[in-house]
Structure 1
Amino acid sequence: MSRIFGVPVASVYPHYVTKVTKKGRTEDELVEVITWLTGFDHDELQRHLAEETTFEDFFAAAHLNPNASLITGSVCGVKVQEVDDPLMQKIRYLDKLVDELAKGRPMDKVLRA
Structure 2
Amino acid sequence: MFIHPHKIKIEQLLEAKFNPEHLEVIDESYMHHAGPEAGSHYKVIMVSSIFAEQKLIQRQREVNKVLKEVLANDIHALSLKLYSPEEWEKQPIIPESPKCAGKNKEL
TM-score band, normalised by shorter chain: 0.3 to 0.5
TM-score using structure 1 length: 0.31
RCO comparison, higher one (Cα < 8 Å, 6+): 1
Greater fraction of residues in strand: 2
TM-score using structure 2 length: 0.32
Greater fraction of residues in helix: 1
